[in-house]
Chain A
């Protein structure tokens, strides 16, 4: 118990003094996860909206698969990306294995189905309500998707956060494709795993605090934005 309290005290000191090693790890984690969220949104949100407003053969199957992919195990994604990017793999010539780029790719693959599946759900619900009105005004399905995404922007904030939460807290995929190389591909989650196994609890705990704080702060911020916006825009 004493060692835990001691570690917590040292962890606070690391955070309070903005330990350079800790700051580097935090910044790299944010850069990778935010890049993955950005790319995931650019692909996932329009994809979800397009599936919601269009009727096509196999639509149900696509929805079931998409929903299923939300539970994609991160180590499996890591393994597949590893195989693709390894020297002998089809994309081996890119030479990006064990780089932050590879980690962005893995996290993007991991969260894009979540972003697409959840946005498909909210756009689907809204489309049922808006369809007649938008068709009456002469809106095409191609145009309805961005119109609905914009109209649902406050609900989408929560979805994007869910994506960020998954990306930032994931450890398996980035460990495999990043390699947890000190100063290059070491992020908060892989560092926590490593430091814990090494017994360096202060750094692990300090990073844990920060990870928790970032996720909580983002969720609180998003909640305030959503509440304020809903009061204002209805």
Chain B
């Protein structure tokens, strides 16, 4: 796809390096000294029990939160005020009171795409997620699954180098979940680095190349998905997989 070129001409955004990252809210330490490196390529899935700090870690990486201590550095920094080269999909998509198409063209406007190209690019993205026929529909009256696919179309149109997803299928039925997973796999196929937080071990298995297991704000284990799911090495991960920890 030729239109990938405009955004990827600069030095690649990845790898992303976290060094001794701590995040505290008041006296509570939510992220407790995480150091890791995320490289382009493999799909990274973050799992762990409730309150382990998964969503916070994602927001720290994406820049929505700043660390209390430690450093988070990208290989190339994004230009301040320029188009973002990374994107995030939330558990509940926030859609504007506009048409589905209008939601995507709005994101393209923020990314500095010229007016004349926005609609065509947006329609292409909507077709990719199977919403080609719903472009003129109001975004907020779409079904839950369609809304999440629209959120993914909005991201797809931007061709981000990295996509963070925070439990994107947590409130969807199996059919809609399947569709979302297909879109995520297709985005990965188009060259976007996937970093996904999920509670669903089946999804971790289907979408993950590597697993990061978080426990009480620490990175307890990092391993290829197959090995982690069959033979976790840390005792916390083993307990989590056996269902002994709440999740």
Contact = CB atoms under 8 A, between A and B. Distances in A.
B110 A139 contact: yes
B138 A234 contact: yes
A218 B88 CA distance: 42
A137 B113 CA distance: 13
Contact of B64 (A130, A132, A147, A154): A132
Nearest to B82: A138
Interface string B103-119: 00011001100000000
A147 B87 CA distance: 19
Interface string B78-106: 00011110011010011011100000001
A138 B110 contact: yes
A133 B138 contact: no
Interface residues of B, number: 24
A135 interface: yes
B125 to A, nearest CB: 14
A135 B59 CA distance: 11
Contacts of A140: 81
Contacts of A68: none
B171 to A, nearest CB: 16
Interface in B24-49: none
B64 A234 contact: no
Contacts, number: 52
Nearest to B78: A138
Contacts of B62: 136
Contacts of A136: 62, 64, 84, 87-88
B141 interface: yes
A234 B139 contact: yes
A233 B97 contact: yes
A221 to B, nearest CB: 20
Contacts of B64: 132, 135-136
Interface string A201-234: 0000000000000000000000000000000111
A234 B140 CA distance: 5
B84 A137 contact: yes
Nearest to B84: A138
A233 B97 CA distance: 6
Contacts of A154: 97
A136 B110 CA distance: 11
Interface string A146-157: 010001111000
Contacts of A147: 96, 106
Contacts of A133: 90, 93-94
Contacts of A138: 82-84, 110-111
25 contacts: A132-B64, A132-B94, A133-B93, A136-B62, A136-B84, A136-B87, A137-B87, A137-B106, A137-B110, A137-B111, A138-B84, A138-B111, A140-B81, A143-B110, A147-B96, A147-B106, A151-B96, A151-B98, A232-B138, A232-B141, A233-B98, A233-B138, A233-B140, A234-B97, A234-B141
